[in-house]
């Protein structure tokens, strides 16, 4: 799973969010902003100032936070695309350097503990953004630019946050700005020493094609929305004309990219240990360093792998009795551990969805999972009607089978949207074998209830801006992994009437834990060493029991990103450690409901802050 709300930096300002506007957009200048930074204030104020800067730097990302305009112009940000010129990039880097120096000068001894934590989070975020621009190639990554453009358009229409007529006018304005935006992108990518990796180039070309192909946002969604809107004919025509030009601009850019950038020598996708460790420190903000996390992951790999095999041997002959009698498979005593597990998952894979039924089947999982959480009194739940499930937009296809865009922090009343990448899943029959019905239930738990959807509903209630907006990746991904395991541990199964139903569900959960463990291992090894790619695939297939398509899809994702794949296991591990301490602290008064709700009620800060909050407030 990959979170959508923070794919790109964003910001807030504003009337619709119960936050007063800090400055009118027409008055914003870097010098004006710097003077307000110099004036100082509390940490919440500094957080808002940085978010304001980010919003001016990249207006597109505001939709993820529920920010669309300013006090006297509610669509100010919705109408704009980023300025990606060299001058704007230089100004942005200088502004970050200035802001970080001001934060470094704050006397932490004069701050209360919550402000000290907020200052730490904000400094890490600014430093990470700085590292991305100066050493990690954000400004020369074509996939970033294409994703920004895709988000800029799809973000205007996939949630009903404002009247459709208002959003379509913004769509037309962004279409009109597309040509200039792509000119800036072309300038950024033109130097011959800009050499994206092969995977980066491949995904960029694929997403560009998906943006303007038949059935795309421009070719189908937009015309349908315009036709059924209350806009007058003249306005409709202007919007459609501007977007026709935008499609031509995108297609011309795609041709230029294919002819100019794609033929260049492939760049290196591995970060190397120095850069990886710098990024890890800032992005993870985690108690363990890379080598320590790798050691824990390898220890868990052996432990969880052993548990999976043990459960498999226990139920193999009973579960596959018919197949054994028919001579299709051998008894467990006559085969090795790998084959025992493969036999069980092969049979489980027969009970699976198709790409045509997957979304409906995902919705159908909801009732039994929600009922189980309520019956076990694991935590109070928001209404699941706020969770929508649909096919992924074209500009996000090709890297992960499922992801979620949770309700924005400053529009918490809106829906969360869970995406399946149906085209990606349809590319190989192996993918759907991974998503048998027990596995589908675990994905619903992870992405939806009581995973990310529930977690971020709780997080959106938190009052402090900085930890609510600048999520810690291990905390977010760790929660979804941990809570799925908790449900299975207390008895959840999709097969309640099957004598081995719980063991089957446990095997699926063990396999998903193994996947998270291996995610961390391959990310750490691939980016920090020269570990061969095929060794990563072999590990996923042999130790993780993954289908080959799933393994190669994860390899592609590891080559497009760094550090994020380590967050699942890292977060799960940290929560398990806090859980053990919390149980010891509470003794007989411990309850799952109390622990779970506390854990997700303080925003999504790094684990040192989460641990302090849990163990101090739990006394």
Check: CB of residue 464 under 8 Å from CB of residue 121: no
Residue 460: predicted pLDDT: 86
Residue 157: predicted pLDDT: 92
Confidence of residue 430 (pLDDT cuts 50, 70, 90): confident
Confidence of residue 392 (pLDDT cuts 50, 70, 90): confident
| Cis geometry, peptide bond prior to residue 383 (ω within 30 degrees of 0) | no
Q: What is the pLDDT of residues 490-548, one digit of tens each?
A: 999 999 999 999 999 999 999 999 999 999 999 999 999 999 999 999 999 999 999 89
Q: What percent of the chain has pLDDT over 90?
A: 80
Per-residue tokens: 420: 């399946």
The pLDDT of 597-613, averaged and rounded, is 93
Residue 13: predicted pLDDT: 30
CA-based nearest residue to 454, from 396, 523, 404? 404
Which are the contacts of 369, defined by CB distance < 8 A and separation ≥ 6?
441, 444, 445, 448, 449, 487, 492
Residue 308: predicted pLDDT: 97
The residue that leads in pLDDT, 42 or 434, is 42
The per-residue pLDDT of the chain, averaged, comes to 92
Return the exposure string of 473-498: e unless at least 16 CB atoms fall within 10 Å of the residue's CB, then b.
bbbbbbbbbbbbbbbbeeebbbbeee
Confidence of residue 6 (pLDDT cuts 50, 70, 90): very low
Q: Where are the beta strands (DSSP E) in 455-516?
A: none
- What's the distance, CA 268 to chain centroid? 24
Is pLDDT of 10 > 60?
no
Confidence of residue 71 (pLDDT cuts 50, 70, 90): confident
Maximum distance among all Cα pairs of the chain, rounded to whole angstroms: 80
Per-residue tokens: 343: 């036999």
The pLDDT of 96-115, averaged and rounded, is 97
pTM of the entire structure? 0.92
Per-residue tokens: 375: 């019956």
Residue 617: predicted pLDDT: 57
Confidence of residue 21 (pLDDT cuts 50, 70, 90): very low
Helix (H, G, I), strand (E, B) or coil at 436: strand
Which are the contacts of 115, defined by CB distance < 8 A and separation ≥ 6?
42, 43
Q: What is the pLDDT of residues 241-261, one digit of tens each?
A: 999 999 999 999 999 999 999
Range name among 14-18, 108-112, 580-584, 597-601 with the lowest pLDDT average: 14-18
Is pLDDT of 594 > 80?
yes
Confidence of residue 26 (pLDDT cuts 50, 70, 90): low
CA-based nearest residue to 370, from 451, 461, 482? 451
Measured in residues, the chain has a length of 619
Phi-psi region of 351 (alpha: psi -120 to 50; beta: other; left: phi over 0): beta
Confidence of residue 285 (pLDDT cuts 50, 70, 90): very high
The pLDDT of 466-481, averaged and rounded, is 94
Helix (H, G, I), strand (E, B) or coil at 193: coil
Is pLDDT of 15 > 50?
no
Q: How far is 523 from 533, CA to CA, in rounded Å?
A: 11
Is pLDDT of 232 > 80?
yes
């Amino acid at each position: 799973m990959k979170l959508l709300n923070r794919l790109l930096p964003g910001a807030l300002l504003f009337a619709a969010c119960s936050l007063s506007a800090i400055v009118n957009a027409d008055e914003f200048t870097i010098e004006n902003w710097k003077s307000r930074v110099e004036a100082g204030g509390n940490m919440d104020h500094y957080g808002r100032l940085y978010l304001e800067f980010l919003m001016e730097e990249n207006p597109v990302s505001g939709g993820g936070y529920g920010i669309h305009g300013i006090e006297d112009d509610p669509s100010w940000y919705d109408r704009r695309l980023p300025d990606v010129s060299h001058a704007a990039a230089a100004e942005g880097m200088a502004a970050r350097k200035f802001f970080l120096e001001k934060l470094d000068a704050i006397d932490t001894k004069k701050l209360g503990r919550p402000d000290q934590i907020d200052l730490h989070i904000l400094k890490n975020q600014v430093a990470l953004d700085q590292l991305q621009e100066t050493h990690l190639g954000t400004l020369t990554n074509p996939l970033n630019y294409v994703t920004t453009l895709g988000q800029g358009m799809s973000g205007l229409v996939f949630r009903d946050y404002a009247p459709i007529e208002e959003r379509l006018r913004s769509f037309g304005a962004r279409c009109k700005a597309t040509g200039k935006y792509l000119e800036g992108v072309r300038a950024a990518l033109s130097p011959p020493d800009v050499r994206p990796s092969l995977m980066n180039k491949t995904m960029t070309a694929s997403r560009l094609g998906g943006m303007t192909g038949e059935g795309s946002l421009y070719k189908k969604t937009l015309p349908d929305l315009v036709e059924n809107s209350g806009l007058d004919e003249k306005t409709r025509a202007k919007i459609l004309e501007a977007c026709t030009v935008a499609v031509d601009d995108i297609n011309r850019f795609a041709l230029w990219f294919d002819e100019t950038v794609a033929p260049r020598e492939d760049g290196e996708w591995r970060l190397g240990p120095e850069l990886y460790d710098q990024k890890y420190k800032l992005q993870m903000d985690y108690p363990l360093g890379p080598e320590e996390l790798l050691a824990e992951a390898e220890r868990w790999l052996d432990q969880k792998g052993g548990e999976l095999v043990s459960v498999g041997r226990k139920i193999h002959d009973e579960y596959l009795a018919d197949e054994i009698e028919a001579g299709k498979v051998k008894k467990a005593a006559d085969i090795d551990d790998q084959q025992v597990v493969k036999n069980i998952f092969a049979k489980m894979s027969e009970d699976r969805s198709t790409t045509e039924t997957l979304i409906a089947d995902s919705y159908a999982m909801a009732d039994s999972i929600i009922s189980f959480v309520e019956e076990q009194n694991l935590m109070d739940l928001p209404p699941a009607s706020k969770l929508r499930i649909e096919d992924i937009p074209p500009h996000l296809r090709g890297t992960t089978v499922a992801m979620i865009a949770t309700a924005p922090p400053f529009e918490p009343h809106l829906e969360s949207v869970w995406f399946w990448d149906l085209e990606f899943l349809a590319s190989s029959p192996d993918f759907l074998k991974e998503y048998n019905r027990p596995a589908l239930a675990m994905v619903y738990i992870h992405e939806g209830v009581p995973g990310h959807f529930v977690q971020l509903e709780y997080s959106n209630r938190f009052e402090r801006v900085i930890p609510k907006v600048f999520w810690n990746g291990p905390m977010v991904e760790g929660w979804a992994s941990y809570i799925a395991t908790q449900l299975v541990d207390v008895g959840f199964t999709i097969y309640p009437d099957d004598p081995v139903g719980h063991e089957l569900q446990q095997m699926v959960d063990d396999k998903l834990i193994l996947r998270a463990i291996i995610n961390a291992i391959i990310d750490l090894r691939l980016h920090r060493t020269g570990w061969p790619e095929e060794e990563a695939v072999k590990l996923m297939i042999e130790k993780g029991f993954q289908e080959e398509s799933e393994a190669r899809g994860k390899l592609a994702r590891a080559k497009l990103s760094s550090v994020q794949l380590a967050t699942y296991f890292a977060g799960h591990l940290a929560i398990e450690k806090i859980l053990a301490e919390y149980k010891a602290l509470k003794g007989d008064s411990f309850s799952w409901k109390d622990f779970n709700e506390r854990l997700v009620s303080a925003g999504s800060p790094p684990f040192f802050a989460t641990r302090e909050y849990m163990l101090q407030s739990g006394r």
